[in-house]
Chains A and B, each alone.
Chain A
Amino acid sequence: EVQLVESGGVVVQPGGSLRLSCAASGFAFDDYTMHWVRQAPGKGLEWVSLITWDGGTSFYADSVKGRFTISRDNSNFSLYLQMNNLRTEDTALYYCAKETYYNYFDSWGQGTLVTVSS
C-alpha cells in the first residue's frame, strides 16, 4: 500500500525558514516524479513544486520561486521542501503527492500544516 506521510509543519514567524519532509513507502519511490501541493485556509489547491525521479530537475510555482527548494533522498525514500523567507500567505496545509507516468496524482499524504504568523 502506498503511504505518504508529511511532517515538519509548525508555526513560524514571517521571514523565517522551515523544512518539510515526506516519508514514502509502498512503491518504487525512485521511479516517480513527486510534488508539493498546498491549500491555504478557505482557498483551493495550489501546485507548489515538482522534482523528477532522479532529483535532477525541479520546477516551482511563481509564488514560491526563489524562496522554496524541493529535494529528495531516494536512498531514504524521502521528499523535502525547504521554505525560506516565509510570508503570511504561505500559511497552508502542505501535501506531498505522487505523480504517475500519465501526469496525474494517484497518491497523497494527509498534509502538514504550516502557519506563518507573528
Chain B
Amino acid sequence: QSALTQPASVSGSPGQSITISCTGTSSDIGSYNFVSWYQRLPGKAPKLLIYEATKRPSGVSNRFSASRSGNTASLTISGLQADDESYYYCCAYAGPSTRVFGGGTKLTVL
C-alpha cells in the first residue's frame, strides 16, 4: 500500500485560508469515507482534527474543515493563526487489514 500524496509544504499569511490535498487511490480514499486528519506539533503526539472525511471532533476549532471527492481528500484551514504552523497528516482506511498515511505537509504561517 503506497503512501497517500500530500504537498510537502504550504504557506499562508495570518487571516488567509489554505487547503492541503491528500490524494490516494480507488482502494483507499476512493472506496471509503474513513479519512482522518491529524496535526503534529513538534514534541507532541498527533492530534485528531477531522474524522470520517468531514467531521470535526468536539474541541477542534471550526476554522478546520475538510472534504472528500473521488480519490482525493482536502483539509482547509481558514483564518490562519500563527499557532496553526505545524505538520498535517491525512490517513485513510484501506480495508480491514491496513491503514495508510500521507507523507505530511508542513504549514508555514508567514
Q: Chain A residues in contact with chain B, CB under 8 A?
A: 35, 37, 43-47, 50, 59, 61-62, 95, 100, 102-106, 108-111
Contact = CB atoms under 8 A, between A and B. Distances in A.
B101 A104 contact: no
A97 to B, nearest CB: 8
B107 interface: no
A47 B57 contact: no
A44 B89 contact: yes
Interface of B: 1, 3, 32, 34, 36, 38, 40, 44-46, 48, 51-52, 57, 87, 89, 91, 93, 96-104
Q: 10 tightest A-B contacts by CB?
A: A44-B104, A104-B36, A108-B45, A103-B34, A104-B51, A103-B93, A59-B97, A45-B101, A44-B103, A47-B99
Given A44-B3, A103-B34, A110-B45, A50 B99 contact: yes
A99 to B, nearest CB: 8
Given A102-B51, A103-B34, A106-B57, A44 B101 contact: yes
B48 A105 contact: yes
Contacts of B103: 43-44
A106 B38 CA distance: 10
Contact of B91 (A95, A102, A104, A106): A104
A110 B46 CA distance: 9
B91 to A, nearest CB: 7
Contacts of B45: 95, 108-111
Nearest to B3: A44
B104 A102 contact: no
B90 to A, nearest CB: 10
B98 A104 contact: no
Contacts of B3: 44, 46
